[in-house]
Amino acid sequence: MQRSTWFWILGVGLVLLLACGGFVGLGLWAANTFGEGRNMSLGFGDAIAIVRVEGTIVPGEAPPPNPFVGGSAGGAYSQTIVDHLKDADENDNVKAVVLFVDSPGGSVFASDEIYLQIKEMHKPIITAMGSVAASGGYYISAPTDEIWASPHTFTCSIGVIMQLVNVEGFAEEYGITTVVVKSGQFKDIGNPFREVTDADQEILQSLVDEAYDGFVKIVAEGRGMTEAEVREIADGRVCSGTQAKEMNLVDNLGYLPDVIDRAAELGGLGNEPRIIEYTENASFVETLSAAFYHPGPIDELRQVLHFNAGSPLMYLYTGQ
């Protein structure tokens, strides 16, 4: 067979392969866009919106999802959640919002961003707790109109944690030395290559205490309790949904369908209300590129490091 014939066959095969990939990407994009996506759902009329907070709470916007993997990129991104809450509040068809929280908490900054948006909501908003809604997960639940948890939900964990890594001994063992040039005594506070001094500890503790005081105040306001009452149980302990209800930290025990029914009642809707799920949809180009993208080890490491970047001050339950 002549060489030109082989080139012609390979060219046709490549065109067919690209066409198939395009049709797959187009189908996935259409399913995302016209299904129950960020701003659309099948059907018309009044509805209940579900906004999900799943995974560790981190600052910023969620990257586009991979349609072949499904779900988010492994965290609850505060700006994305804030945008979803705003969209639901501004959507005339949405009569009530369910905040589904399945999170051990996370960044103090990111948790507060979500909290502030919830405080601005004009529509009824109810928390449905999943398997875990602890620390920052509880922080964002506190201002909602009602909190529902499963009897087996891990929640509470009201408190603040800061964890710093010290590798001084490791560096000495392997002959690693560091040179620090700084403008002030505390400029390298938290430096992993030296011990935390008593003076450092005092400064860091003041930051933790300040964030803790804010947490206590928010719980007290949201639950109609005094700050003294909250402090009695805000020692970082994790508790079950049943225990949280006994401590007035949860209103009712139930699961997501129960919360949807309650939200429909508050929103003046009948049985089996229409549901709008607020999720991130990829564009056609993003969907098609994601279909052929396979992250390498360096990319995966970069994603892991992203979650540990920024302030180490956390509303986080670390028992998972």
Please pick, among 187, 206, 283, 311, the residue that the annotation labels catalytic.
187
Of the candidates 257, 238, 260, which has an alpha carbon nearest to the alpha carbon of residue 249?
238
Domain count, the chain: 1
Q: What are 276-307's pLDDT values in tens digits?
A: 998 765 444 544 454 455 555 555 444 444 44
Judged against a pLDDT cut of 80, whether residue 253 lies above it is answered with yes
pLDDT band per the 50, 70, 90 thresholds, residue 65: low
Q: What do you get for the CA distance between the two ends of the chain, in Å? A: 63
- Which are the contacts of 49, defined by CB distance < 8 A and separation ≥ 6? 88, 91, 94, 96, 97, 98, 275, 276, 277, 278
Residue 40 lies in a domain: yes
pTM: 0.78
3-state SS assignment for residue 103: strand
pLDDT at 219: 98
Residue 194 lies in a domain: no
Judged against a pLDDT cut of 60, whether residue 72 lies above it is answered with no
Q: How many CA atoms lie within 13 A of 221 on its CB side?
A: 13
d(CA 111, CA 315): 8
Q: Considering only 17-21, 101-105, 144-148, which range has the smallest mean pLDDT? A: 17-21
pLDDT at 15: 54
Residue 78 lies in a domain: yes
pLDDT band per the 50, 70, 90 thresholds, residue 37: very low
pLDDT at 66: 54
Length of the chain: 320
pLDDT band per the 50, 70, 90 thresholds, residue 205: very high
Q: What is the mean pLDDT of the chain?
A: 82
Where are any strands of DSSP class E within the chain? 47-54, 57-58, 76-77, 94-103, 105-107, 125-134, 146-149, 154-156, 161-162, 238-240, 252-253, 274-278, 313-316
Residue 136 lies in a domain: yes
Q: Are strands 57-58 and 76-77 parallel, antiparallel or unpaired?
A: parallel
Average pLDDT over residues 93-97: 97
Q: How many CA atoms lie within 13 A of 76 on its CB side?
A: 31
| Percent of the chain's residues with pLDDT above 90 | 57
Residue 187 lies in a domain: no
Residue 282 lies in a domain: yes
DSSP assignment of 254-280 equals --HHHHHHHHHHHTT--SS-EEEEE--
**Which of the two residues, 288 and 63, has the higher pLDDT score?**
63
Hey, how many other C-beta atoms are within 10 angstroms of the C-beta on 8? Answer: 11
Please pick, among 41, 103, 111, 135, the residue that the annotation labels catalytic.
135
Judged against a pLDDT cut of 90, whether residue 101 lies above it is answered with yes
Residue 210 lies in a domain: no
Judged against a pLDDT cut of 70, whether residue 5 lies above it is answered with no
**Which of the two residues, 72 and 59, has the higher pLDDT score?**
59
Q: Is 135 considered catalytic here?
A: yes
**What is the residue range of 41's domain?**
35-163+228-316
Hey, how many other C-beta atoms are within 10 angstroms of the C-beta on 69? Answer: 10
Here the CATH number for the domain that contains residue 292 is: 3.90.226.10
pLDDT at 52: 96
Q: Give the type of residue at 31.
A: A
pLDDT band per the 50, 70, 90 thresholds, residue 82: very high
pLDDT at 188: 86
